[in-house]
A and B are shown apart, each in its own frame.
Chain A
Amino acid sequence: MGTPATPTANEAATRDGYGNALIKLGASDSNVVVLDAGVSDSTRTNKFQEKYPERFFNMGISEGDMVCTAAGMAKCGKTAFATSFICFLLGRSMDQILVSVAYSDSNVKIIGTHAGLAIGEDGPTAQAIGDVGYMRAVPNFIVICPADAVEAEKAIIEVAKRKGPAYVRLGRGNVRTIYDDNYNFEIGKASVVAEGNDVAIIASGIMVQESLAAAEVLKKEGINVRVINMSTIKPIDRQAIIAAAETGTVITTEDHNIYGGLGSAVAEVIAEENLDVKFSMIGVKDRFAESDSQKVLFKKYGLDAEAIAVAVKKAIAAKG
Protein backbone atom coordinates (compact mmCIF):
# COMPACT_ATOMS: atom_id res chain seq x y z
CA MET A 1 0.00 0.00 0.00
CA GLY A 2 2.96 2.35 -0.43
CA THR A 3 4.97 4.26 2.11
CA PRO A 4 3.13 6.98 4.01
CA ALA A 5 4.80 10.25 4.86
CA THR A 6 6.36 10.55 8.32
CA PRO A 7 3.83 12.11 10.67
CA THR A 8 4.64 15.57 11.99
CA ALA A 9 3.59 16.91 15.36
CA ASN A 10 0.37 18.22 13.84
CA GLU A 11 -0.31 15.39 11.50
CA ALA A 12 -1.09 11.74 11.90
CA ALA A 13 -3.28 9.12 10.30
CA THR A 14 -6.44 7.88 11.98
CA ARG A 15 -5.00 4.35 11.77
CA ASP A 16 -2.18 5.60 14.01
CA GLY A 17 -4.78 6.66 16.56
CA TYR A 18 -6.05 3.08 16.42
CA GLY A 19 -2.60 1.66 17.06
CA ASN A 20 -2.13 4.00 20.03
CA ALA A 21 -5.53 3.13 21.47
CA LEU A 22 -4.80 -0.60 21.24
CA ILE A 23 -1.64 -0.22 23.30
CA LYS A 24 -3.60 1.59 26.01
CA LEU A 25 -6.38 -0.98 25.93
CA GLY A 26 -3.88 -3.81 26.04
CA ALA A 27 -2.54 -2.40 29.29
CA SER A 28 -5.89 -1.63 30.89
CA ASP A 29 -7.89 -4.72 29.90
CA SER A 30 -6.45 -8.22 29.67
CA ASN A 31 -9.53 -9.38 27.76
CA VAL A 32 -8.71 -7.24 24.74
CA VAL A 33 -7.55 -9.37 21.80
CA VAL A 34 -6.55 -8.16 18.36
CA LEU A 35 -6.81 -10.02 15.07
CA ASP A 36 -5.46 -9.03 11.70
CA ALA A 37 -5.66 -10.52 8.22
CA GLY A 38 -2.04 -10.29 7.21
CA VAL A 39 -1.65 -6.51 6.98
CA SER A 40 -0.75 -5.58 10.55
CA ASP A 41 2.04 -3.21 9.57
CA SER A 42 -0.42 -1.16 7.52
CA THR A 43 -3.30 -1.27 10.00
CA ARG A 44 -0.99 -0.51 12.95
CA THR A 45 -2.08 -3.57 14.91
CA ASN A 46 1.62 -4.52 14.86
CA LYS A 47 2.05 -2.03 17.73
CA PHE A 48 -0.21 -4.20 19.85
CA GLN A 49 1.53 -7.34 18.66
CA GLU A 50 4.90 -6.02 19.85
CA LYS A 51 3.59 -5.43 23.36
CA TYR A 52 1.06 -8.23 23.72
CA PRO A 53 2.08 -11.02 21.34
CA GLU A 54 0.03 -13.68 23.17
CA ARG A 55 -3.15 -11.69 22.59
CA PHE A 56 -2.46 -10.92 18.94
CA PHE A 57 -3.65 -13.30 16.23
CA ASN A 58 -2.55 -12.93 12.67
CA MET A 59 -5.08 -15.02 10.78
CA GLY A 60 -3.45 -14.55 7.39
CA ILE A 61 -5.30 -13.40 4.33
CA SER A 62 -8.67 -14.89 5.24
CA GLU A 63 -10.98 -12.15 6.44
CA GLY A 64 -14.09 -14.29 6.91
CA ASP A 65 -12.18 -16.76 9.07
CA MET A 66 -10.75 -13.87 11.06
CA VAL A 67 -14.14 -12.27 11.75
CA CYS A 68 -15.65 -15.57 12.91
CA THR A 69 -12.61 -16.42 15.02
CA ALA A 70 -13.02 -13.01 16.64
CA ALA A 71 -16.70 -13.80 17.27
CA GLY A 72 -15.78 -17.09 18.95
CA MET A 73 -13.31 -15.30 21.20
CA ALA A 74 -15.89 -12.61 21.99
CA LYS A 75 -18.38 -15.28 23.01
CA CYS A 76 -15.80 -16.41 25.56
CA GLY A 77 -15.53 -12.98 27.14
CA LYS A 78 -12.99 -11.26 24.94
CA THR A 79 -13.25 -7.80 23.42
CA ALA A 80 -12.08 -8.72 19.94
CA PHE A 81 -10.77 -6.24 17.40
CA ALA A 82 -10.85 -7.68 13.86
CA THR A 83 -8.82 -5.58 11.51
CA SER A 84 -7.93 -5.26 7.84
CA PHE A 85 -8.26 -2.99 4.84
CA ILE A 86 -11.92 -2.04 4.51
CA CYS A 87 -12.27 -3.31 0.95
CA PHE A 88 -11.29 -6.84 1.85
CA LEU A 89 -12.47 -6.88 5.44
CA LEU A 90 -16.05 -6.04 4.52
CA GLY A 91 -15.97 -7.29 0.96
CA ARG A 92 -14.93 -10.75 2.11
CA SER A 93 -16.89 -11.02 5.32
CA MET A 94 -20.27 -9.32 5.20
CA ASP A 95 -22.05 -12.63 5.77
CA GLN A 96 -19.77 -13.48 8.68
CA ILE A 97 -20.33 -10.00 10.12
CA LEU A 98 -24.07 -10.41 9.72
CA VAL A 99 -24.43 -13.89 11.27
CA SER A 100 -21.53 -14.44 13.66
CA VAL A 101 -21.19 -10.85 14.85
CA ALA A 102 -24.37 -8.79 14.37
CA TYR A 103 -27.14 -11.37 14.79
CA SER A 104 -25.12 -13.17 17.46
CA ASP A 105 -24.52 -9.81 19.19
CA SER A 106 -20.83 -10.67 19.59
CA ASN A 107 -18.50 -8.16 21.19
CA VAL A 108 -16.46 -7.76 18.01
CA LYS A 109 -15.09 -4.47 16.76
CA ILE A 110 -14.71 -4.43 13.00
CA ILE A 111 -11.90 -1.99 12.31
CA GLY A 112 -11.29 -1.09 8.69
CA THR A 113 -8.43 1.04 7.49
CA HIS A 114 -7.70 2.60 4.08
CA ALA A 115 -11.03 4.33 3.51
CA GLY A 116 -12.15 5.88 0.26
CA LEU A 117 -10.41 7.45 -2.71
CA ALA A 118 -7.93 8.93 -0.25
CA ILE A 119 -5.82 5.76 -0.48
CA GLY A 120 -4.96 6.85 -3.99
CA GLU A 121 -2.61 4.87 -6.13
CA ASP A 122 -3.78 1.33 -5.36
CA GLY A 123 -6.90 2.04 -7.36
CA PRO A 124 -10.57 1.05 -7.16
CA THR A 125 -10.10 -2.50 -5.82
CA ALA A 126 -8.57 -0.95 -2.70
CA GLN A 127 -10.72 2.19 -2.53
CA ALA A 128 -13.60 1.47 -0.17
CA ILE A 129 -16.57 3.63 -1.15
CA GLY A 130 -19.58 1.53 -0.12
CA ASP A 131 -18.68 0.39 3.38
CA VAL A 132 -20.71 2.90 5.39
CA GLY A 133 -23.72 1.91 3.35
CA TYR A 134 -23.18 -1.77 4.03
CA MET A 135 -22.64 -1.33 7.72
CA ARG A 136 -25.48 1.12 8.32
CA ALA A 137 -27.80 -1.60 7.05
CA VAL A 138 -26.68 -4.18 9.60
CA PRO A 139 -28.74 -4.25 12.84
CA ASN A 140 -26.85 -4.08 16.16
CA PHE A 141 -23.92 -2.21 14.59
CA ILE A 142 -22.80 1.32 15.26
CA VAL A 143 -20.71 3.08 12.61
CA ILE A 144 -17.96 5.56 13.42
CA CYS A 145 -15.65 7.48 11.11
CA PRO A 146 -13.16 9.66 13.03
CA ALA A 147 -11.72 12.86 11.59
CA ASP A 148 -8.21 12.80 13.04
CA ALA A 149 -5.85 10.59 15.01
CA VAL A 150 -6.89 12.01 18.38
CA GLU A 151 -10.54 11.35 17.71
CA ALA A 152 -9.71 7.89 16.35
CA GLU A 153 -7.85 6.98 19.52
CA LYS A 154 -10.66 8.25 21.74
CA ALA A 155 -13.31 6.57 19.61
CA ILE A 156 -11.58 3.20 19.83
CA ILE A 157 -11.38 3.50 23.62
CA GLU A 158 -15.11 4.30 23.80
CA VAL A 159 -16.01 1.53 21.39
CA ALA A 160 -14.10 -0.93 23.59
CA LYS A 161 -16.06 0.21 26.64
CA ARG A 162 -19.39 -0.28 24.90
CA LYS A 163 -20.23 -3.97 24.69
CA GLY A 164 -21.40 -5.13 21.29
CA PRO A 165 -20.62 -4.87 17.59
CA ALA A 166 -19.08 -1.71 16.16
CA TYR A 167 -17.58 -0.67 12.87
CA VAL A 168 -14.86 1.99 12.76
CA ARG A 169 -13.72 3.42 9.43
CA LEU A 170 -10.15 4.68 9.39
CA GLY A 171 -7.87 6.30 6.86
CA ARG A 172 -4.41 5.58 5.57
CA GLY A 173 -2.91 9.02 5.00
CA ASN A 174 -1.83 11.62 7.50
CA VAL A 175 -4.34 14.30 8.30
CA ARG A 176 -4.15 17.47 10.30
CA THR A 177 -4.79 16.93 13.99
CA ILE A 178 -7.76 19.12 14.83
CA TYR A 179 -8.59 17.90 18.33
CA ASP A 180 -6.48 18.07 21.45
CA ASP A 181 -6.44 15.72 24.41
CA ASN A 182 -9.25 17.64 26.12
CA TYR A 183 -11.69 16.64 23.39
CA ASN A 184 -14.50 14.58 24.80
CA PHE A 185 -15.56 12.02 22.22
CA GLU A 186 -19.01 10.63 22.77
CA ILE A 187 -20.60 7.92 20.62
CA GLY A 188 -23.57 9.42 18.79
CA LYS A 189 -22.55 13.03 19.36
CA ALA A 190 -21.46 15.32 16.54
CA SER A 191 -19.05 18.17 17.18
CA VAL A 192 -18.88 21.60 15.60
CA VAL A 193 -15.33 22.22 14.40
CA ALA A 194 -15.99 25.59 12.73
CA GLU A 195 -18.70 28.09 13.66
CA GLY A 196 -20.89 29.82 11.11
CA ASN A 197 -24.51 30.43 10.19
CA ASP A 198 -24.52 30.97 6.43
CA VAL A 199 -24.25 27.31 5.47
CA ALA A 200 -23.73 24.09 7.43
CA ILE A 201 -21.45 21.36 6.18
CA ILE A 202 -21.86 17.93 7.76
CA ALA A 203 -18.72 15.92 7.17
CA SER A 204 -17.05 12.71 8.23
CA GLY A 205 -13.53 11.36 8.23
CA ILE A 206 -11.00 12.98 5.94
CA MET A 207 -13.70 15.23 4.52
CA VAL A 208 -13.84 17.13 7.79
CA GLN A 209 -10.36 18.25 6.84
CA GLU A 210 -11.33 19.28 3.32
CA SER A 211 -14.45 21.02 4.62
CA LEU A 212 -12.43 22.99 7.16
CA ALA A 213 -10.04 24.07 4.42
CA ALA A 214 -12.99 25.23 2.32
CA ALA A 215 -14.46 27.09 5.30
CA GLU A 216 -11.18 28.93 5.87
CA VAL A 217 -11.09 30.14 2.26
CA LEU A 218 -14.75 31.14 2.31
CA LYS A 219 -14.35 33.05 5.56
CA LYS A 220 -11.96 35.41 3.77
CA GLU A 221 -14.77 36.08 1.32
CA GLY A 222 -17.20 36.85 4.12
CA ILE A 223 -19.03 33.53 4.06
CA ASN A 224 -19.35 31.85 7.44
CA VAL A 225 -19.62 28.10 7.20
CA ARG A 226 -20.42 25.83 10.09
CA VAL A 227 -18.50 22.57 9.83
CA ILE A 228 -19.93 19.68 11.78
CA ASN A 229 -17.92 16.52 12.30
CA MET A 230 -20.49 13.72 12.21
CA SER A 231 -18.06 11.08 13.36
CA THR A 232 -20.79 8.72 14.51
CA ILE A 233 -22.77 7.96 11.39
CA LYS A 234 -24.98 5.43 13.17
CA PRO A 235 -26.69 6.21 15.47
CA ILE A 236 -26.66 9.68 13.92
CA ASP A 237 -26.92 12.88 15.95
CA ARG A 238 -30.37 14.07 14.91
CA GLN A 239 -30.23 17.22 17.05
CA ALA A 240 -27.06 18.37 15.31
CA ILE A 241 -28.80 17.98 11.94
CA ILE A 242 -31.90 19.83 13.14
CA ALA A 243 -29.66 22.65 14.39
CA ALA A 244 -27.68 22.66 11.12
CA ALA A 245 -30.88 23.00 9.14
CA GLU A 246 -31.52 26.34 10.85
CA THR A 247 -28.83 27.83 8.61
CA GLY A 248 -31.14 27.08 5.67
CA THR A 249 -28.51 25.07 3.79
CA VAL A 250 -26.95 21.70 4.59
CA ILE A 251 -24.21 20.14 2.51
CA THR A 252 -22.79 16.73 3.35
CA THR A 253 -19.23 15.75 2.44
CA GLU A 254 -17.82 12.22 2.52
CA ASP A 255 -15.10 10.18 0.85
CA HIS A 256 -17.70 7.52 0.02
CA ASN A 257 -20.38 6.88 -2.54
CA ILE A 258 -23.20 9.41 -2.24
CA TYR A 259 -25.55 6.42 -1.94
CA GLY A 260 -25.80 4.77 1.44
CA GLY A 261 -23.29 6.83 3.38
CA LEU A 262 -23.33 9.98 5.50
CA GLY A 263 -25.26 12.00 2.91
CA SER A 264 -28.00 9.41 2.80
CA ALA A 265 -28.10 9.21 6.59
CA VAL A 266 -28.50 12.99 6.90
CA ALA A 267 -31.11 13.04 4.12
CA GLU A 268 -33.14 10.45 6.02
CA VAL A 269 -33.25 12.71 9.08
CA ILE A 270 -34.10 15.80 7.02
CA ALA A 271 -36.98 13.95 5.36
CA GLU A 272 -38.26 12.34 8.55
CA GLU A 273 -38.12 15.59 10.52
CA ASN A 274 -39.63 17.61 7.64
CA LEU A 275 -36.77 20.09 7.87
CA ASP A 276 -37.12 23.12 5.64
CA VAL A 277 -33.63 23.24 4.22
CA LYS A 278 -31.69 23.23 0.95
CA PHE A 279 -29.69 20.05 0.81
CA SER A 280 -26.90 18.69 -1.34
CA MET A 281 -24.34 15.89 -1.12
CA ILE A 282 -20.67 15.88 -1.96
CA GLY A 283 -19.14 12.45 -2.35
CA VAL A 284 -18.18 9.89 -4.94
CA LYS A 285 -20.92 10.07 -7.55
CA ASP A 286 -21.70 6.37 -7.87
CA ARG A 287 -18.69 5.47 -9.98
CA PHE A 288 -15.30 3.84 -9.70
CA ALA A 289 -12.27 6.10 -9.66
CA GLU A 290 -8.76 5.24 -10.85
CA SER A 291 -5.18 5.39 -9.61
CA ASP A 292 -3.36 8.57 -8.67
CA SER A 293 -2.50 10.60 -5.61
CA GLN A 294 -5.23 11.58 -3.18
CA LYS A 295 -4.81 15.18 -4.29
CA VAL A 296 -5.35 14.40 -7.95
CA LEU A 297 -8.26 12.05 -7.28
CA PHE A 298 -9.98 14.45 -4.88
CA LYS A 299 -9.76 17.17 -7.50
CA LYS A 300 -10.97 15.04 -10.39
CA TYR A 301 -13.79 13.42 -8.44
CA GLY A 302 -14.96 16.62 -6.80
CA LEU A 303 -13.99 15.95 -3.18
CA ASP A 304 -11.42 18.67 -2.52
CA ALA A 305 -11.80 21.93 -0.64
CA GLU A 306 -12.21 23.80 -3.91
CA ALA A 307 -15.17 21.67 -4.96
CA ILE A 308 -16.73 22.17 -1.54
CA ALA A 309 -16.24 25.94 -1.77
CA VAL A 310 -17.92 25.98 -5.19
CA ALA A 311 -20.88 24.01 -3.81
CA VAL A 312 -21.23 26.42 -0.87
CA LYS A 313 -21.22 29.45 -3.15
CA LYS A 314 -23.77 27.85 -5.42
CA ALA A 315 -26.01 27.15 -2.46
CA ILE A 316 -25.71 30.73 -1.25
CA ALA A 317 -26.49 32.09 -4.72
CA ALA A 318 -29.60 29.88 -4.83
CA LYS A 319 -30.73 31.35 -1.50
CA GLY A 320 -30.69 34.76 -3.15
Chain B
Amino acid sequence: MADAATVAKLKTKAKMLRIASVKLVYQAGSGHPGGSLSAADIVAALFYHQMKYDAKNPDWPDRDRFILSKGHCTPLLYSVFADVGYFPKEELATYRRLGRLTGHPNPKLPGVEIATGSLGQGLSVGHGMALAGRLDKRDYYVYVLLGDGELNEGQVWEAAMSAAHYKSDHLIAIVDNNKVAQDNMTAAMKNVEPVDKKFEAFGWQVYRIDGHDMAQIVDTLAAVRKVKGKPVVIVADTVKGKGVSYMEGKPDWHGKAPSEELYRKALDELEKG
Protein backbone atom coordinates (compact mmCIF):
# COMPACT_ATOMS: atom_id res chain seq x y z
CA MET B 1 0.00 0.00 0.00
CA ALA B 2 1.14 3.47 -0.85
CA ASP B 3 2.25 5.39 2.22
CA ALA B 4 0.62 8.70 2.99
CA ALA B 5 3.79 10.71 2.66
CA THR B 6 4.45 9.39 -0.85
CA VAL B 7 0.89 10.09 -1.91
CA ALA B 8 1.05 13.61 -0.51
CA LYS B 9 4.36 14.28 -2.28
CA LEU B 10 3.04 12.99 -5.61
CA LYS B 11 -0.14 15.04 -5.32
CA THR B 12 1.96 18.15 -4.86
CA LYS B 13 4.01 17.21 -7.92
CA ALA B 14 0.88 16.61 -9.99
CA LYS B 15 -0.44 20.02 -8.99
CA MET B 16 2.86 21.62 -9.97
CA LEU B 17 2.76 19.81 -13.36
CA ARG B 18 -0.79 21.03 -14.03
CA ILE B 19 0.17 24.61 -13.31
CA ALA B 20 3.30 24.33 -15.43
CA SER B 21 1.32 22.77 -18.31
CA VAL B 22 -1.25 25.55 -18.41
CA LYS B 23 1.55 28.13 -18.22
CA LEU B 24 3.28 26.56 -21.22
CA VAL B 25 0.15 26.58 -23.36
CA TYR B 26 -0.64 30.16 -22.40
CA GLN B 27 2.91 31.31 -23.05
CA ALA B 28 3.08 29.58 -26.45
CA GLY B 29 -0.37 30.76 -27.46
CA SER B 30 -1.19 27.24 -28.62
CA GLY B 31 -0.97 23.64 -27.45
CA HIS B 32 -3.00 20.93 -25.76
CA PRO B 33 -4.08 21.59 -22.18
CA GLY B 34 -6.98 19.12 -21.77
CA GLY B 35 -5.09 15.85 -22.17
CA SER B 36 -2.11 17.22 -20.23
CA LEU B 37 -4.28 17.94 -17.20
CA SER B 38 -6.03 14.56 -17.33
CA ALA B 39 -2.74 12.61 -17.33
CA ALA B 40 -0.85 14.69 -14.75
CA ASP B 41 -1.45 12.35 -11.80
CA ILE B 42 -0.31 9.28 -13.74
CA VAL B 43 2.77 11.04 -15.08
CA ALA B 44 3.66 12.34 -11.62
CA ALA B 45 3.46 8.82 -10.17
CA LEU B 46 5.64 7.45 -12.96
CA PHE B 47 8.37 10.09 -12.95
CA TYR B 48 8.58 10.87 -9.23
CA HIS B 49 7.98 7.41 -7.88
CA GLN B 50 7.81 4.32 -10.06
CA MET B 51 10.22 4.64 -12.97
CA LYS B 52 13.96 4.16 -12.71
CA TYR B 53 15.89 6.55 -14.92
CA ASP B 54 18.65 9.10 -14.71
CA ALA B 55 17.98 12.44 -16.35
CA LYS B 56 21.72 13.15 -16.33
CA ASN B 57 22.35 9.93 -18.21
CA PRO B 58 19.35 9.65 -20.54
CA ASP B 59 20.87 6.78 -22.56
CA TRP B 60 21.40 4.52 -19.53
CA PRO B 61 20.57 1.12 -21.10
CA ASP B 62 18.74 -0.23 -18.04
CA ARG B 63 16.39 2.74 -17.66
CA ASP B 64 12.66 2.28 -17.74
CA ARG B 65 11.26 3.78 -20.93
CA PHE B 66 8.33 6.17 -21.19
CA ILE B 67 6.57 6.82 -24.48
CA LEU B 68 4.01 9.58 -24.80
CA SER B 69 1.98 7.92 -27.52
CA LYS B 70 -0.61 10.69 -27.19
CA GLY B 71 2.17 12.96 -28.39
CA HIS B 72 0.21 16.20 -28.34
CA CYS B 73 0.46 16.37 -24.53
CA THR B 74 3.90 18.00 -24.55
CA PRO B 75 2.89 20.68 -22.03
CA LEU B 76 2.84 17.89 -19.46
CA LEU B 77 5.85 16.03 -20.85
CA TYR B 78 8.12 19.06 -21.04
CA SER B 79 6.99 20.24 -17.62
CA VAL B 80 8.06 17.00 -16.01
CA PHE B 81 11.24 16.74 -18.12
CA ALA B 82 12.35 20.24 -17.11
CA ASP B 83 11.59 19.54 -13.47
CA VAL B 84 13.54 16.27 -13.30
CA GLY B 85 16.45 17.80 -15.20
CA TYR B 86 16.39 16.46 -18.75
CA PHE B 87 16.91 20.03 -19.92
CA PRO B 88 17.24 23.46 -18.26
CA LYS B 89 13.99 25.01 -17.05
CA GLU B 90 14.81 28.24 -18.89
CA GLU B 91 14.44 26.34 -22.16
CA LEU B 92 10.71 26.03 -21.52
CA ALA B 93 10.53 29.60 -22.85
CA THR B 94 11.16 28.11 -26.32
CA TYR B 95 8.15 25.78 -26.24
CA ARG B 96 6.67 25.58 -29.76
CA ARG B 97 9.38 27.95 -31.00
CA LEU B 98 12.62 27.19 -32.87
CA GLY B 99 14.63 24.53 -31.07
CA ARG B 100 14.08 21.18 -29.42
CA LEU B 101 10.73 21.79 -27.73
CA THR B 102 8.61 21.01 -30.75
CA GLY B 103 4.81 20.87 -30.48
CA HIS B 104 5.06 17.09 -30.47
CA PRO B 105 8.10 15.32 -29.03
CA ASN B 106 11.20 14.42 -31.01
CA PRO B 107 14.19 12.40 -29.84
CA LYS B 108 16.66 15.25 -30.20
CA LEU B 109 15.35 16.22 -26.77
CA PRO B 110 16.90 14.07 -24.02
CA GLY B 111 14.27 11.86 -22.42
CA VAL B 112 12.24 11.49 -25.61
CA GLU B 113 12.62 7.87 -26.70
CA ILE B 114 10.89 8.22 -30.08
CA ALA B 115 8.99 10.86 -32.01
CA THR B 116 5.25 10.77 -31.56
CA GLY B 117 2.43 12.99 -32.69
CA SER B 118 0.79 10.76 -35.22
CA LEU B 119 -1.45 8.70 -32.97
CA GLY B 120 -1.37 4.93 -32.71
CA GLN B 121 2.35 4.21 -33.07
CA GLY B 122 3.65 4.32 -29.51
CA LEU B 123 2.44 0.93 -28.34
CA SER B 124 4.22 -0.86 -31.19
CA VAL B 125 7.39 1.12 -30.54
CA GLY B 126 7.18 0.34 -26.84
CA HIS B 127 6.71 -3.30 -27.64
CA GLY B 128 9.86 -3.24 -29.77
CA MET B 129 11.74 -1.79 -26.80
CA ALA B 130 10.36 -4.49 -24.53
CA LEU B 131 11.40 -7.22 -26.99
CA ALA B 132 14.89 -5.71 -27.26
CA GLY B 133 15.12 -5.67 -23.48
CA ARG B 134 14.26 -9.34 -23.34
CA LEU B 135 16.87 -10.15 -26.01
CA ASP B 136 19.49 -8.23 -24.07
CA LYS B 137 18.42 -9.79 -20.75
CA ARG B 138 17.66 -6.41 -19.24
CA ASP B 139 14.92 -5.92 -16.71
CA TYR B 140 13.56 -2.50 -17.68
CA TYR B 141 9.88 -1.76 -18.16
CA VAL B 142 8.34 0.22 -20.98
CA TYR B 143 5.42 2.52 -20.13
CA VAL B 144 3.27 3.74 -22.99
CA LEU B 145 0.71 6.45 -22.33
CA LEU B 146 -2.20 6.40 -24.78
CA GLY B 147 -5.34 8.46 -25.10
CA ASP B 148 -8.75 6.86 -25.34
CA GLY B 149 -9.44 8.63 -28.63
CA GLU B 150 -6.17 7.16 -29.86
CA LEU B 151 -7.62 3.69 -29.43
CA ASN B 152 -9.62 4.33 -32.61
CA GLU B 153 -6.36 3.76 -34.47
CA GLY B 154 -6.17 0.20 -35.77
CA GLN B 155 -2.46 -0.07 -35.12
CA VAL B 156 -3.05 0.00 -31.37
CA TRP B 157 -4.85 -3.31 -31.74
CA GLU B 158 -2.17 -4.73 -34.02
CA ALA B 159 0.29 -3.97 -31.24
CA ALA B 160 -2.10 -5.41 -28.67
CA MET B 161 -2.15 -8.67 -30.62
CA SER B 162 1.64 -8.69 -31.00
CA ALA B 163 2.44 -8.02 -27.34
CA ALA B 164 0.07 -10.75 -26.15
CA HIS B 165 1.52 -13.16 -28.70
CA TYR B 166 5.05 -12.46 -27.52
CA LYS B 167 3.97 -12.55 -23.85
CA SER B 168 5.64 -9.18 -23.34
CA ASP B 169 5.13 -8.66 -19.64
CA HIS B 170 7.54 -5.72 -19.48
CA LEU B 171 5.21 -3.62 -21.62
CA ILE B 172 2.78 -1.50 -19.60
CA ALA B 173 0.14 0.44 -21.50
CA ILE B 174 -1.69 3.19 -19.66
CA VAL B 175 -4.87 4.55 -21.20
CA ASP B 176 -5.64 8.08 -20.10
CA ASN B 177 -9.37 7.41 -20.47
CA ASN B 178 -10.58 11.01 -20.35
CA LYS B 179 -13.47 10.27 -22.70
CA VAL B 180 -12.96 13.37 -24.77
CA ALA B 181 -11.24 13.78 -28.13
CA GLN B 182 -10.66 16.86 -30.29
CA ASP B 183 -14.01 16.78 -32.02
CA ASN B 184 -16.38 15.30 -29.54
CA MET B 185 -16.86 12.86 -26.71
CA THR B 186 -15.17 9.63 -27.85
CA ALA B 187 -18.35 7.71 -27.07
CA ALA B 188 -20.29 9.92 -29.47
CA MET B 189 -17.66 9.80 -32.21
CA LYS B 190 -16.47 6.21 -32.35
CA ASN B 191 -17.01 4.51 -29.03
CA VAL B 192 -13.98 2.70 -27.62
CA GLU B 193 -15.70 1.21 -24.59
CA PRO B 194 -15.59 -1.29 -23.09
CA VAL B 195 -11.84 -0.62 -23.21
CA ASP B 196 -11.02 -3.09 -20.45
CA LYS B 197 -12.94 -5.95 -22.06
CA LYS B 198 -11.34 -5.29 -25.42
CA PHE B 199 -7.81 -5.55 -24.01
CA GLU B 200 -8.81 -8.57 -21.98
CA ALA B 201 -10.05 -10.28 -25.13
CA PHE B 202 -6.69 -9.53 -26.73
CA GLY B 203 -4.93 -11.42 -23.93
CA TRP B 204 -3.80 -8.53 -21.72
CA GLN B 205 -3.87 -8.29 -17.95
CA VAL B 206 -6.23 -5.38 -17.28
CA TYR B 207 -6.46 -2.97 -14.37
CA ARG B 208 -9.17 -0.33 -14.29
CA ILE B 209 -8.59 2.51 -11.87
CA ASP B 210 -9.49 6.07 -11.01
CA GLY B 211 -6.71 7.98 -12.76
CA HIS B 212 -6.92 10.81 -10.23
CA ASP B 213 -6.69 8.65 -7.10
CA MET B 214 -2.97 8.85 -6.35
CA ALA B 215 -2.91 5.99 -3.85
CA GLN B 216 -4.62 3.72 -6.34
CA ILE B 217 -2.26 4.77 -9.13
CA VAL B 218 0.81 4.09 -6.97
CA ASP B 219 -0.49 0.70 -5.85
CA THR B 220 -1.42 -0.34 -9.37
CA LEU B 221 1.95 0.68 -10.80
CA ALA B 222 3.58 -1.53 -8.17
CA ALA B 223 1.21 -4.43 -8.80
CA VAL B 224 1.66 -4.54 -12.58
CA ARG B 225 5.34 -5.39 -12.23
CA LYS B 226 4.38 -8.70 -10.69
CA VAL B 227 2.41 -9.83 -13.76
CA LYS B 228 4.20 -12.55 -15.70
CA GLY B 229 3.61 -13.85 -19.21
CA LYS B 230 1.29 -11.19 -20.54
CA PRO B 231 1.31 -7.47 -21.24
CA VAL B 232 -0.50 -5.14 -18.87
CA VAL B 233 -2.87 -2.28 -19.49
CA ILE B 234 -4.01 0.20 -16.87
CA VAL B 235 -7.25 1.82 -17.97
CA ALA B 236 -7.22 5.01 -15.94
CA ASP B 237 -10.55 6.79 -15.86
CA THR B 238 -9.81 10.49 -15.89
CA VAL B 239 -11.38 13.86 -16.52
CA LYS B 240 -10.13 15.86 -19.48
CA GLY B 241 -8.99 19.27 -18.31
CA LYS B 242 -8.90 18.06 -14.68
CA GLY B 243 -8.57 20.87 -12.19
CA VAL B 244 -9.74 23.74 -14.40
CA SER B 245 -13.52 23.97 -14.13
CA TYR B 246 -14.19 25.50 -17.52
CA MET B 247 -11.99 22.94 -19.29
CA GLU B 248 -13.27 19.80 -17.58
CA GLY B 249 -14.95 17.40 -19.98
CA LYS B 250 -14.92 19.91 -22.84
CA PRO B 251 -13.66 18.91 -26.32
CA ASP B 252 -13.10 22.60 -26.97
CA TRP B 253 -10.10 22.58 -24.62
CA HIS B 254 -8.36 19.70 -26.37
CA GLY B 255 -6.03 21.99 -28.23
CA LYS B 256 -6.16 25.70 -27.58
CA ALA B 257 -4.67 28.34 -25.33
CA PRO B 258 -6.71 30.31 -22.79
CA SER B 259 -7.13 34.08 -22.88
CA GLU B 260 -5.30 36.05 -20.19
CA GLU B 261 -8.43 36.18 -18.06
CA LEU B 262 -9.11 32.47 -18.34
CA TYR B 263 -5.43 31.73 -17.76
CA ARG B 264 -5.54 33.61 -14.43
CA LYS B 265 -8.71 31.76 -13.50
CA ALA B 266 -7.06 28.41 -14.35
CA LEU B 267 -4.00 29.20 -12.22
CA ASP B 268 -6.21 30.33 -9.39
CA GLU B 269 -8.24 27.12 -9.42
CA LEU B 270 -5.18 24.89 -9.75
CA GLU B 271 -3.36 26.64 -6.89
CA LYS B 272 -6.36 26.20 -4.63
CA GLY B 273 -7.15 22.65 -5.84
Contact = CB atoms under 8 A, between A and B. Distances in A.
Interface in A39-84: 54-55, 57, 59-60, 62, 64-78, 80
A77 B132 contact: yes
B118 interface: yes
A78 B107 CA distance: 17
A-side binding surface: helix, strand, loop or mixed?
helix
Nearest to A57: B131
Nearest to B104: A99
B161 A62 contact: yes
B211 to A, nearest CB: 25
B131 A69 contact: yes
Given A62-B162, A65-B162, A105-B107, A99 B117 contact: yes
B186 interface: no
Contacts of A64: 120-121, 124, 155, 158
Contacts of B61: 76-77
Given A72-B125, A72-B129, A75-B129, A104 B159 contact: no
A232 interface: no
B154 to A, nearest CB: 8
A60 B161 contact: yes
Contact of A59 (B107, B116, B162): B162
Given A70-B128, A72-B131, A62 B158 contact: yes
Contact of B114 (A59, A62, A66, A106): A106
B179 interface: no
Contacts of B142: 72
Contacts of B114: 71-72, 75, 100, 104, 106
B127 interface: yes
Contacts of A280: none
Interface residues on B, range: 20 to 34
Contacts of A76: 61, 128-129, 132-133, 136
- Among B116, B121, B128, B135, the one with the most A-chain Cβ atoms within 10 Å of its Cβ is B128
Contacts of B133: 76
B121 A100 contact: yes
B243 interface: no
B9 to A, nearest CB: 31
- Among A60, A65, A70, A95, the one with the most B-chain Cβ atoms within 10 Å of its Cβ is A65
- Among B116, B135, B165, the one with the most A-chain Cβ atoms within 10 Å of its Cβ is B135
Contacts of A33: 132, 135
B106 interface: yes
B160 to A, nearest CB: 9
A103 interface: yes
A65 B124 contact: yes
A96 interface: yes
Given A62-B158, A64-B155, A100-B115, A73 B132 contact: yes
B113 interface: yes
B116 to A, nearest CB: 7
B249 interface: no
Given A72-B131, A76-B129, A105-B107, A99 B121 contact: yes
A62 B161 CA distance: 10
A105 B109 CA distance: 13
A68 B159 contact: yes
A105 B108 CA distance: 9
- Among A72, A80, A106, the one with the most B-chain Cβ atoms within 10 Å of its Cβ is A72
A68 B129 contact: no
Contacts of B166: 57
- Among B125, B133, B159, the one with the most A-chain Cβ atoms within 10 Å of its Cβ is B125
A75 B162 contact: no
Contacts of A59: 162
B113 A96 contact: no
Contact of A99 (B118, B129, B159): B118
A17 to B, nearest CB: 26
B180 to A, nearest CB: 24
B132 A60 contact: no
A75 B67 CA distance: 12
Interface of A: 33, 54-55, 57, 59-60, 62, 64-78, 80, 95-96, 98-100, 103-106
5 contacts: A62-B162, A71-B125, A74-B128, A99-B121, A104-B114
- CB-CB nearest 8 A-B residue pairs: A72-B128, A68-B124, A76-B132, A65-B158, A62-B158, A69-B128, A72-B125, A72-B129
